[in-house]
Amino acid sequence: MGPISSKWIHFFLVCFFYAYVSCSSVEQKIYVVLNKTTPCVRLLNATHQIGCQSSISGDTGVLHVLETEDDLDWITKTGPHAPYMVLMESPAFTRSTMMRLKNSTRVAGAAVIHLTAPPDQGFSPHTSCPNQNTGVYSESYGPELANCSTAVWNPLGNGLSYEDFPFPIFSLADDNETQVIRKCYEDHNRRVNGSAPEYPLCAMQLFSHMHAVTDTVTCMRRTDLQNSFSINPEQLCDPLKDYNVWATIRPINVTAKGHKENESMVIAATRLDGRSFFYDVAPSAEGTVSGIVTLLAAAEALRSVTRVAPPPRNIFFAFFQGEAFDYIGSSRMVYDMQNNKSVIDFDNVHSFLEIGQVGLWNKQTLWMHSDPVSRRNDTVNKEVTSLVDNIKSAASTLAVSLDEPNTTQALPPSSFQRFLKVRPIPGVVLTDHRSSFVNRYYESLYDTPEYLNVSYPPNLTPEEQLEYETEAAKSLTEVATLVARSLYKQAGGEEDMLKNITADTKTMAKLLYGFLVKTNNTWFRSLLPFDVVSKERNSILGSGPPQYYVSLSQIQQPKSVTTFVKYVLVNMTGTATSLNQSQCQNPNDTPGESKDLYVYEWVSGTASENHTIGEPFCARAPVRLARAESPAFELRQYGSREYSTWTESRWKHIGARIFLVASPQLQKWPSEGLGDFRDIQVGFFLRCKELSLRVLRVMALSLGLDSEVFLEAHSHIGSDENGSTLRSLYYPPVKAGSVKEGQLRCGEHSDYGSITLVFQDPEAGLQVLNRKREFISAPSIPGTVLVNIADLMQRWTSDVFVSA
């Protein structure tokens, strides 16, 4: 750097390498690693990033338990040991509290202890108008219905899941680990008579650094650049994707895409996914599972009757994945149908019946929602009226009350909306709510089996629980019977056959247990492929339910819920054959069998008493998987307003630990007269730290290296193990006549670290040495930060980057 004559702030990033030997026993004595934690992660769409993340080296703060308003003031205003790591129980996890923490510079992160008892007032971190930007209603289609103008579907939605937090937030299980954290706080950090505790203090460190920033457009562009120019490309984010599951009562040829001659379809649909604020923790009992089990049980109820007296129209069961994120699965099917990539097209669709949230109807009223805009068309209105009449007729012998909401009310959030964007299809969405969700815990950790009234008497064995008919099982069996009869009648089936269509309460009990309580049960095991069940270690069968967050599929394997729905549907719609295992794997070699019409699965079969593995057999069924990935990524339209653009950031390490932190002897701050000087300086230092790490990542990528290569060498910025400094330097103006000839204020030099961030004021003066060994001025450009290469970076990069 050359001489300067203006005031500027100088931020050094200097990293020294040390040789050391890591001793795990010493580390275990210092840290208590927390294993039962779940992070909030970063998601991105075309315009935003949401979620949470830590710095590359993790964020550390002194632990403080948030219990009262006074605690909140202590954390955000008066406590002397900022930054704080906030520990709170889930009832304190509200929008008002989290926004106060977000807007403070004194918070390093938050850990939320998840209590099983839900808050009485309800809680939903989703928005009040889910998927409002990608549904059918817009300026060009029913503008008076757009943006939940006629019905606020999720009135308890506080939008927390769509905020962008600058610090990590983790969920903790309320168990022994939580007690260890509380004891550490009680022993070292709790205030006594209002006085601040003395060091050492209990601290927590959270690791959840995310690689992607800004939005999907930025992330995918950077990924594409790496794939084009880097010898070691790195994926920064991934599209949310999985698979839809579909089946029909009569098989259709899957190799012939596009229109099917003489084939008319009634589509019966529901969603497969849900979410909560925290990664891959989404119980989704009412929000998702109630629809899944209802449609599966309805499919089973239709099997025998449709074989004896097949209706003129086919019934197409569709389970859409990724619907919580702007209708990923249904958008994909619609796109494929438009472009001859699906097994059917829109001309094959006769009508549509969607099963929404139906688990909390409590034998009161189920609501039949339809689209008031498409019903302005006389033909469509006539068909919708007929569908509504068929549903009412199907309910005539059931203890089910049906009603329609106001005819001017918009459709609730539903996959059906994506089909209406293309064509005015007659359809109904069946729900347990009229104008706002009955579900008071939509897309939250509290949408649990207990909330759906799925609970069991004490002392039942797992096998007894599997067979136990809960009140929810009995209630949803009636809904499934209604759906099955409605579909049969809508497909043109014989009226006198309706009485033979009845869903099985025992099946519903097993479905609820498998999808809400425990996947590793004897029934699910009997339905899965033999090679899956026989594995000693199985990632699908677990001690709990499947998770419903769509996530992403890096290894092209469907999510566990998708897999279970597929094989249950094989059982519900298929046939046990006499094919042996070899014939099952190569069915086209057997006369009368066709992989174009059916899927063939060598499944485990029911185990006999005292055996864990059953007698396997070959099941044949008209069940298939189809891609559930937004067309935006195939079209490379990362900023699309038509299709979902949601991606999930990648990361390398997620973790949490607590430890005792000693007094920072070297941190000396003015004690009086400067107000929030320390908070401003610390906050600015942390912002500079984040910016420097981003710059180092870009520099590594420009060299074709792994983006972490420089970041790992700067992992201790802000600690005594690193020499990075923040310098606030002021050079007052001087009179030209008082400067001696050849006198310099700050002589020429090169910085000795890796990079320097320079924040200049408008005054000129800073100069740098170019490769021709000439000093040139470095002008101050408003809104920018000057990045200066230092000696260590020049050495690291073998003079590719030159110190100036």
Q: Please name every residue paired with 575 in a beta bridge, in sequence order, or none if there are none.
A: 620
Closest listed residue to residue 294, CA positions, set 479, 501, 548: 479
* pLDDT of 680: 78
Distance between CA atoms of residues 804 and 675, nearest Å? 37
**438 and 475 both lie in a single domain:** yes
- Only one residue has tokens 């954290």, namely 181
Structure tokens at 71: 């605690």
**157 and 297 both lie in a single domain:** no
Question: 224 φ, ψ to 5°?
Answer: -65, -40
Question: 692 φ, ψ to 5°?
Answer: -65, -40
Closest listed residue to residue 790, CA positions, set 749, 745, 744, 729: 749
Structure tokens at 736: 């030209």
Distance between CA atoms of residues 376 and 382, nearest Å? 10
* pLDDT of 611: 53
Contact partners, residue 717, CB within 8 Å, separation at least 6 = 13, 57, 689, 692, 693, 724
Contact partners, residue 684, CB within 8 Å, separation at least 6 = 726
Alpha carbons within 13 angstroms on the beta-carbon side of residue 507 total 21
Distance between CA atoms of residues 575 and 594, nearest Å? 14
Alpha carbons within 13 angstroms on the beta-carbon side of residue 626 total 29
Domain total in the chain: 3
In a domain, 593, yes or no: no
> CB atoms < 10 A from the CB of 671, how many?
7
**416 and 460 both lie in a single domain:** yes
**436 and 471 both lie in a single domain:** yes
- Contact at 8 Å (CB) between 114 and 171? yes
Indicate which CATH number applies to the domain containing 259: 3.40.630.10
In a domain, 671, yes or no: no
Distance between CA atoms of residues 1 and 19, nearest Å? 31
Interior/surface letters 172-207, b for 16+ CB within 10 angstroms, e for the rest: beeeebbeebbebbeebbeeeeeeebeeebbbbbbb
Structure tokens at 60: 């550390």
In a domain, 133, yes or no: no
Structure tokens at 728: 């606030």
∠ CA 635-639-642, rounded to 5°: 70
Question: 129 φ, ψ to 5°?
Answer: -130, 80
Closest listed residue to residue 528, CA positions, set 607, 461, 625, 610: 607
**164 and 287 both lie in a single domain:** no
* pLDDT of 24: 46
Strands 314-320, 265-271: parallel, antiparallel or unpaired by DSSP? parallel
User: Which of helix, strand or coil describes residue 175?
Assistant: coil
- Contact at 8 Å (CB) between 301 and 502? yes
Closest listed residue to residue 797, CA positions, set 760, 768, 754, 734: 754
**319 and 468 both lie in a single domain:** yes
Distance between CA atoms of residues 699 and 714, nearest Å? 14
Indicate which CATH number applies to the domain containing 711: 2.60.120.330
Query: DSSP class of residue 384?
Result: H
* pLDDT of 721: 63
Question: 768 φ, ψ to 5°?
Answer: -130, 155
In a domain, 228, yes or no: no
* pLDDT of 159: 97
* pLDDT of 764: 66
**363 and 250 both lie in a single domain:** yes
Distance between CA atoms of residues 463 and 443, nearest Å? 30
Distance between CA atoms of residues 559 and 768, nearest Å? 55
Q: CA distances (Å), 38 to each of 16, 125, 140, 791, in order? A: 34, 16, 42, 41
Distance between CA atoms of residues 252 and 711, nearest Å? 54
In a domain, 601, yes or no: no
Closest listed residue to residue 245, CA positions, set 313, 347, 332: 332
- CA 730 from chain centre, in angstroms, equals 47
In a domain, 24, yes or no: no
Q: Where are the beta strands (DSSP E) in 176-240?
A: 201-208, 237-239
In a domain, 699, yes or no: yes
* pLDDT of 671: 63
**285 and 193 both lie in a single domain:** no
**264 and 200 both lie in a single domain:** no
The boundaries of the domain holding residue 87 are 32-124+146-220+649-663
In this prediction, the residues of the chain whose per-residue pLDDT falls under 50 are 3-26, 666
Distance between CA atoms of residues 787 and 791, nearest Å? 13
Contact partners, residue 610, CB within 8 Å, separation at least 6 = none
Structure tokens at 55: 């710095």
* pLDDT of 540: 84
Structure tokens at 701: 């990528």
**338 and 304 both lie in a single domain:** yes
**164 and 270 both lie in a single domain:** no
**353 and 208 both lie in a single domain:** no
* pLDDT of 407: 86
* pLDDT of 682: 76
How far apart, in Å, do the first and last CA atoms of the chain sit?
5
259 by Cβ neighbours in 10 Å (0-12 / 13-18 / 19+) ranks as middle
- Dihedral over Cα of 476, 480, 485, 486: its sign: positive
Q: Please give the single-letter amino acid code of residue 499.
A: K
Q: What is the DSSP string of 533-556?
A: HT-SS-SSS-SSPPP------TTS
Distance between CA atoms of residues 688 and 691, nearest Å? 5
Distance between CA atoms of residues 346 and 422, nearest Å? 9
Helix (H) or strand (E) run with residue 436 in it: none
Distance between CA atoms of residues 748 and 804, nearest Å? 10
- CA 719 from chain centre, in angstroms, equals 33
* pLDDT of 4: 44
* pLDDT of 143: 96
In a domain, 225, yes or no: no
Distance between CA atoms of residues 581 and 599, nearest Å? 14
Structure tokens at 326: 């702007």
